[in-house]
Amino acid sequence: MSNERLTITSQGDISVVTFLGTTVLDLSTSEDVRKNLLKLANSPPPPKIIVDFTAVRFLASRMLGVLVELSRRAETGKGKVVITGLHGDVSKVFQITKLSRLLHCAASLDEATGLLGKVGS
């Protein structure tokens, strides 16, 4: 699945969400992105989701709440969400808000895939 803001691809039983732009979630697109992400979290079997922020340089505050909601919904279904590709100002936002402690973060896509490989095993 793809739109102008993100692509969602599959690697086996793992869904990989990749943001295409350097800015994520202005007010006009936030609900569409939220719906796409939560649809993944509500899908059986237990969802395994990687959210890749490699291209992102700015993250609107609305996205932080969406990520927490995504993670909670996935975990309710015995799944897991792993965030990767954090750098620069986006990484600082995760550290300042303590989201790096609340959400599962990985340094690379390979590390994220490894963390998700343990889910449901």
Per-residue pLDDT tens over the stretch 69-106: 999 999 998 999 999 999 998 999 999 999 988 899 99
Residue 21 domain flag: yes
Q: Is residue 119 part of a domain?
A: no
Section 40-45 average pLDDT: 86
What is the count of structural domains for the chain? 1
Q: Flag whether 1 is in a domain.
A: no
| Tokens, residue 114 | 């490894």
- Identify whether 47 is part of a domain: yes
Mean pLDDT, residues 39-66 taken together: 89
Confidence of residue 121 (pLDDT cuts 50, 70, 90): very low
Mean pLDDT of 28-48: 84
Joined together, the tokens standing for residue 117 give 């490989």
Residue, of 34 and 27, whose pLDDT is higher? 34
What's the pTM?
Answer: 0.89
**In terms of C-beta distances under 8 Å and separation of at least 24 residues, what long-range contacts does 41-46 make, across chains too?**
41/70, 41/73, 41/74, 41/77, 41/79, 41/81, 42/73, 42/77, 44/77, 45/13, 45/120, 46/74, 46/77, 46/78, 46/79, 46/80, 46/119, 46/120
Domain assignment of residue 102, yes or no: yes
